[in-house]
Amino acid sequence: MSNNLQELLTALDFKTPPDEIPEDLKNSLIKFLVKEKDFRHQWKIRRLLASSGIRPHQLRTFDQFQWNFNPGFPKEDVLAFRNSSWIDNGANLILIGDPGLGKSHIAKALCYDAIQKGHSAHFITAFDLISKIKRNQNMASRIEYYGSTLHVLAIDEDPPRGWLDEACDQAERRGLAATRRPEQGQELALEDREVQRVHGADAAVILGAAPELDDGPGHDRQC
């Protein structure tokens, strides 16, 4: 963490120029601002975790994952995705496989990674997601929240194809505006054998948003 007074004042949105601060106070002020910046970061992480849909006892990290449990698990591909700029690029990931192979663990770990970097993330089942959108009186705002406002959305159990298109179409028919997620991404099978999108093969879907770049190619677009 930088101890530069100007950088700290800017990062914490202080307006006083460093030249206006007495020299005998600068060292003490730097120590205080470093602590304040750290406390603000920790407060943001706690707030993001509280709104992530992941309860404290359900938190999962990559350090906890048992990579040797399934010899056919595509570890290198998963870690390559984790270490890429997938959030900034709005990239998506679909993990496919039978129950108990670690799809939910990886999805929660990616959410936890994103939160530690200061990104908003939410983990939700496909059933709960669709139910919340359909029950909400302002459907467009719910779609906007899950589809664009969040930086990361992890959907446990693959929803039916076209579910978001259908929700957008319903919102459109009501004269509301809504957005769709980008389609770019990759699909990983978590078993030694090839797994296709058929009945009996569950999936976890992880979507990256990059809402701050919503005018760029491959990002959110209007319904």
Asked if residue 162 and residue 184 are part of one domain, the reply reads yes
Asked if residue 208 and residue 194 are part of one domain, the reply reads yes
Residue 102: left (phi > 0), alpha (psi -120 to 50), or beta? left
Asked if residue 135 and residue 78 are part of one domain, the reply reads yes
Asked if residue 65 and residue 25 are part of one domain, the reply reads no
Asked if residue 142 and residue 211 are part of one domain, the reply reads yes
127 and 68 in contact (C-beta within 8 Å)?
no
Q: Check pLDDT > 90 for residue 30.
A: yes
Q: What is the pLDDT of residue 185?
A: 52
Q: What is the pLDDT of residue 63?
A: 94
- Close Cβ partners of 90 (under 8 Å, ≥ 6 residues apart): 182, 184, 208, 209, 210, 213, 218, 219, 220
Asked if residue 101 and residue 85 are part of one domain, the reply reads yes
Q: Check pLDDT > 80 for residue 111.
A: yes
The SS3 call for residue 202 is: strand
Alpha-carbon separation of residue 206 from 1, 9, 70, 89, 180 (angstroms): 31, 36, 21, 13, 15
User: Residue 119 maps to which CATH number?
Assistant: 3.40.50.300
The average pLDDT across 9-28 equals: 91
The boundaries of the domain holding residue 10 are: 5-49
Sign of the C-alpha dihedral computed for residues 116, 91, 126 and 61 taken in this order: negative
Structural domains counted in the chain: 2
Asked if residue 70 and residue 35 are part of one domain, the reply reads no
Q: Check pLDDT > 50 for residue 135.
A: yes
Which range scores top for mean pLDDT: 20-29, 146-155, 176-185, 200-209? Answer: 20-29
Asked if residue 194 and residue 88 are part of one domain, the reply reads yes
Which range scores top for mean pLDDT: 146-150, 155-159, 197-201, 202-206? Answer: 146-150
* Residue closest to 115 by CA, chosen among 92, 83, 96, 87: 87
The average pLDDT across 167-187 equals: 50
pTM of the model: 0.68
pLDDT tens sequence across 38-59: 999 999 999 999 999 999 999 9
Asked if residue 133 and residue 202 are part of one domain, the reply reads yes
Q: What is the pLDDT of residue 94?
A: 86
Asked if residue 89 and residue 19 are part of one domain, the reply reads no
Q: What is the distance between the alpha carbons of residues 59 and 212, in angstroms, rounded to a whole number?
A: 27
Q: Looking at 52-61, 71-80, 98-107, 185-194, which range is the least confident one?
A: 185-194
The average pLDDT across 154-164 equals: 65
β-pairing, 185-189 vs 121-125, is: unpaired
| DSSP string covering 115-173 | HHTT--EEEEEHHHHHHHHHH-SSHHHHHHIIIIISSEEEEESPPPTTHHHHHHHHHHH
Asked if residue 119 and residue 11 are part of one domain, the reply reads no
Asked if residue 14 and residue 83 are part of one domain, the reply reads no
Q: What is the distance between the alpha carbons of residues 21 and 18, in angstroms, rounded to a whole number?
A: 5
Q: What is the pLDDT of residue 28?
A: 92
The average pLDDT across 65-77 equals: 86
Q: What is the distance between the alpha carbons of residues 83 and 86, in angstroms, rounded to a whole number?
A: 8
- Residue 181: pLDDT band (50, 70, 90) is very low
Sign of the C-alpha dihedral computed for residues 133, 103, 65 and 148 taken in this order: negative
- Residue 91: pLDDT band (50, 70, 90) is confident
